Chains A and B, each alone.
Chain A
Amino acid sequence: MDLDALAGCLSSSACLVTQTTSGLIIGMLLFLVAVGLTLIFGVLKVVNFSHGAFYMFGAYFAMSAYQLTGSFALAMLAGAAGTAILGLIFERVFMSRVYGADVLMQLLVCYAFVLIFDDVVRIIWGPEFKAMGMPSAFQVMPLFIAGGVVPPYYLLLISVALVAAIVLGIGLSRSRIGKVIRAAAHNPGMVSALGINTGLIFGGVFALGGMLAGLAGALAAPVRSLTPGMGFSVLIESFIVTVIGGMGSILGALIGALLLGLIRSFGSLGFPLFTEGLMYLFMVIVLVSKPTGLFGKEAA
């Protein structure tokens, strides 16, 4: 334990700014993955254990598009759109067959695809690790805000994730499609009886979830190395986020992800040997005091 370092940091604005943005970056990327997970669970009532694969595909799609076109914007688009299409196909062809099935069956299908997707990446892009490289537009000196260091690329990353959160939140609660989706989550039979194609909605929600994870992968690609299996560690942290925030709650995913990011960034100062453990400890505390998660609703 190094509580002096933590106290020293909390009393210095420079350190506070740097560590807070560092926590926000980790949290925001995590949010994009976790919110897809929680959305799919909320509407389709399946836990998508293969969700990490979409994060991985997003990163690889972005890297390939960036190498082909040299355009960062197109790379992000490729990451998001590619995984959306992949998500739609995956849901229609495979996942839709196990909706009513036993949880174990769903788990088995998802886990099979974790392995299959990893091997597909290995066949297409090779087993060795890759790097996309930072676009030259962002190869600039970091900004200094109140003495703290903030890289411009991370500002972009945080704002993109924030926009996604706001659009998603408002879209689901205010728009017509959002209302239909929420209705379908509540009572798919009734929605179907009203003449709405629930298969399309389910496919769309899955594609949206995949797209958000893909976008996270694409945003992470310039700063993280790409390997087959890279989705796995992200998936585990996303689960912690959804468990803390409450399965099915978008606000919960946002708060959970940000808390986890901040725990990592400040925890690494105060508890350098126990940073990872802190996350789980926090999860345990939340679960004991509120078993449905911070924003989870009581099971009906």
Chain B
Amino acid sequence: MTRTRTPGISRRSTLALMGAGAMTFAAPWVARAQAKTVKIGMPTILSGRVAQLGTSSRNAVMLEVEKVNAAGGLAGRQIEMVIRDSKGQPQEAARVARELVNTDGCELMIDAEASSGAFAVHEVARDLGVFCIHTNSETSALTADPKQHIPNAFRTARQGVHDSIVGGSYAAAIAKAKGLKKWATCSPDYAYGRDTTAEFTLYLKRFAPEVEIISESWPKLFQPDYTEVVTKILQAKPQALYSCLWGGDLTSYIDQANIYAMFGQMEVFAVNMADYTALTVVKNLPKGIHSGNRYIKTFPTTPENAAWGDAYKAKYNEYPTNWSWENATAIMLMAEAAKKANSADGKKIAEALKGLTIKCPFGADGTVTMRGDDHTLVGYAIGWGTTIPQEPYVPEVKAGDWKTIFELEAEWKKSKGYA
């Protein structure tokens, strides 16, 4: 029904509406079977310092849900999203997740939390048995560790260990070509920063054994000033620097390192640079920073990916983030799995989702797969390239090789006692 009270509503449309209403009352079994919506609960971070990422998750989900609903919904049932703010706190995320299922009657769940919250929501999913897709947690253990495995939970985020293998081999190739032996690292001092840096250097040294880490810096998360870190790295005189700082921390760091002309003195590898949230904010983006892809509409270089990025920008007036594509993929996979199972039931979708390969704008070869044995996404576009100060920001991305990723991932799982 229209909300604006224009005088132009015709008698015919009013009658048609009334007729439809009468039909609904007259045939309740039809209404229940066909018009009943399926509620999907989604805890995410909508306030605080990473609110931008949570908002971009919600945007991406809504973009895809509209498409699914227009095409008839999940096995004929329209999707209704129930999205709640967890404020980025794990206990709040768990509480919200529980409430979404028990009070709001959500039958399916998208967990759009960062790693800290995702493990908490995972326990709720274990307890309630609700179907759940983790969309943003990249911590490898969430799916790699068999202790975490439950039949009803999946992950559509990239995985830390995949990133490290691709990043390590890319960086090692450049280290060998340019003779970069002395490396420094500078990453935020919390679980993500420590783990990611350790995995990156592990693979860097594996592919280029002559590399030596001569200086490590661990600034605090959200530290306003990095001057003492910048000058410390300058003193150490490394030939290359690795950093997994992200967001506003990374842009601060770049601005402060820039005035020391640091980027001319060493090769810089910043895995989180090639994300639009950072790329569009930095005013004097140095040329030639090496970065992993997060979301960029020019990689994979397919019309589908570019069209998706443009559609998102047209609707929300900003570019998608890394979290956007991970959430969009979750809806795409759920829609396909529901079609295959011909049901919107969580158990049946979970069964259909195991090993499912779908066409996807973010796939390395145009498809992505939900791996059956550990319920995590594989085959997504992953690669590294160097930055330029204007669009397309990262003109050429060197794609990672999934065959190598699988081999080394299997080996890594063994070394961790996961397989």
Cβ-based interface call for B10 (8 A): no
- Tell me, yes or no, whether B127 is within 8 Å of chain A by CB: no
Flag if B248 contacts A264 (CB, 8 Å).
no
A233 with B260, Cβ < 8 A, contacts A130-B281, A131-B282, A225-B248 known: no
Q: Is the CB of B49 within 8 A of A229?
A: yes
Instruction: Please pick, from A151, A227, A269, A275, the residue contacting B235 in the complex, using a CB distance under 8 A.
Output: A269
Whether the Cβ atoms of B248 and A129 lie closer than 8 Å is yes
Contact A131 B227 (CB under 8 A): no
- Whether A134 pairs with B252 at a CB distance below 8 angstroms is no
Interface size class of A (residues with CB under 8 A): 35 or more
Minimum C-beta distance from B219 to chain A (A): 9
Closest 10 CB pairs of A and B: A133-B283, A129-B248, A225-B248, A151-B259, A225-B252, A128-B52, A265-B228, A268-B228, A22-B231, A22-B227
B259:A154 contact, CB within 8 angstroms: yes
Set A131, A227, A234, A265: member contacting B255, Cβ < 8 A: A131
Query: Can you give 15 A-B contacts (C-beta < 8 A)?
Result: A15-B235, A19-B231, A19-B232, A22-B230, A127-B47, A128-B52, A128-B277, A133-B255, A134-B284, A142-B260, A142-B261, A223-B259, A225-B281, A269-B232, A272-B218
Interface of B is mostly: helix
What size tier do the contact residues of chain B reach?
35 or more
Q: Which residue of B lies closest to A17 (CB)?
A: B231
Given contacts A153-B259, A224-B252, is CB(A264)–CB(B228) below 8 Å? yes
- Residues of the A chain whose Cβ atoms lie less than 8 Å from the Cβ of B277: 128-129
What's the Cα separation between A218 and B268 when bound, in Å? 28
Pick the contact of A26: B47, B227, B247 (CB < 8 A): B227
Docked complex Cα distance between A15 and B234 (Å): 9
Residues of A within 8 A of B176 (CB): none
Chain B residue numbers with a CB within 8 Å of A74 are: none
How distant is the Cα of A233 from the Cα of B249 in the complex, in angstroms? 13
Which residues of chain A have C-beta atoms less than 8 A from B51's C-beta? 127-128
Nearest A residue (CB) for B278: A129
CA distance A1 to B202 in the complex (A): 23
- CB of B261 within 8 A of CB of A233, answer no
- What residues of chain A lie closer than 8 Å to B251, measured between beta carbons? 129, 131, 225
Interface readout for B210-221 with A: 1 if CB under 8 Å, 0 if not? Answer: 000000111010
Scan residues 107-146 of chain A and give those whose CB is less than 8 A from a CB of chain B: 127-134, 138-139, 141-142
- CB neighbours (8 Å) of B224 from chain A are 220, 224, 230, 233-234
8 Å CB contact of A227 from B49, B229, B232, B259: B49
Residue A213 lies at the interface, judged by CB distance under 8 Å to chain B: no
Q: Which residue of A lies closest to B49 (CB)?
A: A227
Interface flag for A88 (CB, 8 Å): no
Report B101-157 residues with CB < 8 Å from chain A CB: none
> B249 contacts which chain A residues (CB < 8 A)?
225
B223 part of interface (Cβ distance < 8 Å):
yes
CB proximity of B217 to chain A, nearest CB, Å = 7
**Distance, CA A254 to CA B193, complexed state (A):** 34
Q: A151: which of B47, B232, B260 is its contact (CB, 8 Å)? A: B260
**Chain A proximity of B139: nearest CB distance (Å):** 23
CB atoms of A134 and B228 under 8 A apart: no
B222 touches A233 (CB 8 A): yes
Say yes or no for A18: interface residue by CB 8 A criterion. Answer: yes
A26 touching B231 by the CB < 8 A rule? no
Shortest A219–chain B CB gap in Å is 12
Q: Is B258 an interface residue when CB atoms closer than 8 A count as contact?
A: yes
A268 touches B217 (CB 8 A): yes
Taking the complex as formed, is B225 at the interface, i.e. its CB lies under 8 A from any CB of chain A? yes
B227 neighbours in A (Cβ, 8 Å)? 22, 25-26, 265
In angstroms, how far is the closest chain B Cβ from the Cβ of A254?
Answer: 18
Chain A proximity mask over B258-300: 1 for CB below 8 Å, otherwise 0: 1111000000000000000100011110000000000000000
Question: In the bound complex, do residue B235 and residue A134 qualify as a contact, i.e. CB atoms below 8 Å apart?
Answer: no
User: B258 to chain A: which residues have CB within 8 Å?
Assistant: 134, 139
* Mask of B33-61 contacts with A, CB within 8 angstroms, 1/0: 00000000000000101011001000000
- Bound CA–CA A138/B258 (angstroms): 11
Question: Would you call A183 an interface residue if the criterion is a C-beta within 8 Å of the partner chain's C-beta atoms?
Answer: no
- State whether B281 touches A131 (Cβ < 8 A): yes
| Whole-angstrom distance between the Cβ of A181 and the nearest chain B Cβ | 31
User: Taking CB as reference atom, which chain A residue is nearest B52?
Assistant: A128
B239 in contact (CB, < 8 A): no
Given contacts A224-B225, A225-B251, 7 further A-B contacts (CB under 8 A): A9-B235, A19-B232, A26-B228, A128-B277, A134-B258, A149-B261, A268-B229
B281 and A18 contacting across the interface, CB-CB below 8 Å: no
Q: Mark A263-281, 1 if CB is under 8 A from B, else 0.
A: 0110111001101100000
Contact B228 A275 (CB under 8 A): yes
Complex Cα distance A141/B259, Å? Answer: 7
Chain A residues whose C-beta falls within 8 Å of the C-beta of B55 in the assembled complex: 127
A222–B255 touching, CB < 8 Å: yes
Distance in angstroms from B191 CB to nearest chain A CB is: 16
Interface string of B64-99 (1 = CB under 8 A from A): 000000000000000000000000000000000000
CB nearest to A148 among chain B residues: B231
A26 touching B261 in the complex, CB below 8 Å, given contacts A149-B231, A223-B255, A272-B216: no
Return chain A residues, CB-CB under 8 Å to B52: 127-129
CB proximity of B380 to chain A, nearest CB, Å: 25
A58 is an interface residue with CB less than 8 A from chain B: no
Whether A23 contacts B228 in the complex (CB less than 8 A), given A130-B281, A131-B282, comes out as: yes
Is B256 an interface position by the 8 A CB rule? yes
CA A9 – CA B237 in complex, angstroms? 13
Find chain A residues with CB under 8 A from B49 CB.
Answer: 227, 229
Pair B248/A132 contact, Cβ less than 8 Å: no
Most buried by A among B224, B227, B229: B227
CB-nearest residue of chain A relative to B46?
Answer: A127
Chain B 346-362: CB-based contact to A (< 8 A → 1; otherwise 0): 00000000000000000
